[in-house]
Amino acid sequence: MADRYLSLTGTAPGRFLTRRLGLPQPVRLRRWSAEQPSLQGELLHLTAGKSDQDLAPVLGRSAPLSGGEGPRSGGDRPVAVVLDATGVRDIDGLAEVHAALHPVVRSVAESGRVVVLGAPLDPADHHQAAVQQALEGFVRSLGKEIGRGRTVNLVRLSDAEAAESTLRFLLSPRSAYVSGQVIEVGGHGGVDSGGGGGSAGSEDPEKPLAGRTALVTGAARGIGEAVAATLARDGALVVCLDVPAAGGDLATVAERLGGVALPLDITADDAGARIADALPGGRLDVLVHNAGITRDRRLVNMPAERWSSVLDVNLASVLRTTDVLLSCGALRAGGRVVATASIAGIAGNAGQTNYAASKAGVVGLVRSLAPRALSEYGVTVNAVAPGFIETKMTAAVPLFIREAGRRMNSLAQGGLPVDVAETTAWLASPGAGAVNGQVVRVCGQSLLGA
What does the alpha-carbon distance between residue 178 and residue 152 come to, in Å, rounded to a whole number?
8
Predicted local distance difference test score (pLDDT) of residue 72: 46
Judge: domain 200-442, CATH 2.20.25.90: no
- Told to judge if 355 belongs to the known catalytic residues of this protein, a careful annotator would answer yes
Q: For the chain, what are the domain ranges? A: 31-185, 200-442
Per-residue pLDDT of the chain (450 residues; tens, 9 = 90+): 789 989 999 999 998 999 999 989 999 999 999 999 999 899 999 999 998 888 888 888 876 555 555 544 445 789 999 999 999 999 999 999 999 999 999 999 999 999 999 999 999 999 999 999 999 999 999 999 999 999 999 999 989 999 999 999 999 999 999 999 999 998 544 443 333 334 444 578 789 999 999 999 999 999 999 999 999 999 999 999 999 999 999 999 999 999 999 999 999 999 999 999 999 999 999 999 999 999 999 999 999 999 999 999 999 999 999 999 999 999 999 999 999 999 999 999 999 999 999 999 999 999 999 999 999 999 999 999 999 999 887 877 788 888 888 999 999 999 999 999 999 999 999 999 999 999 999 999 998 765
Interacting residues of 411 by C-beta distance below 8 A, sequence separation 6+: 26, 29, 149, 151, 177, 179, 444, 445
Q: Do domains 31-185 and 200-442 have the same CATH topology?
A: yes
Greatest Cα pair distance in the chain: 65
Predicted local distance difference test score (pLDDT) of residue 202: 58
Predicted local distance difference test score (pLDDT) of residue 447: 85
- What are 183's strand-pairing partners? 155
Class of domain 31-185: alpha beta
pTM: 0.94
Predicted local distance difference test score (pLDDT) of residue 403: 87
Catalytic pick from 5, 177, 355, 377? 355
Question: What is the three-class DSSP state of 337?
Answer: strand
What does the alpha-carbon distance between residue 443 and residue 450 come to, in Å, rounded to a whole number?
8
The conformation of residue 23, written as its DSSP 8-state character, comes to -
What does the alpha-carbon distance between residue 336 and residue 287 come to, in Å, rounded to a whole number?
6
Alpha helices in 258-352 (DSSP H): 271-278, 304-311, 317-327, 343-347
What does the alpha-carbon distance between residue 52 and residue 443 come to, in Å, rounded to a whole number?
33
What does the alpha-carbon distance between residue 428 and residue 285 come to, in Å, rounded to a whole number?
9
